[in-house]
Amino acid sequence: MKRVITYGTYDLLHYGHINLLKRAKALGDYLIVAISTDEFNWNSKQKKCYFSYEQRKALVEVSHRHLRDRR
């Protein structure tokens, strides 16, 4: 089994994010998506996210489920 990992903030999820997830999924059998925390974004980038970590996580989970179910 080939595992693929991708990482991002995924704030204001858009078509480019979806394409990134599709391309990453196509590279292997199992996709791991890491989402940066609000604290990391502020402390490392001085970036305040529009959506909270939990909201961004929910958006990515729905997108991931959609990609998985389209097989």
Cα separation, 33 vs 41, in Å, equals: 16
Q: Which residues pair with 35 in a beta bridge?
A: 8
Active site residues: 45, 47
Q: Are 45 and 11 in contact (CB under 8 A)?
A: no
Determine contact, residues 56/7, Cβ cutoff 8 Å: no
Q: Which two tokens stand for residue 61?
A: 């989970």
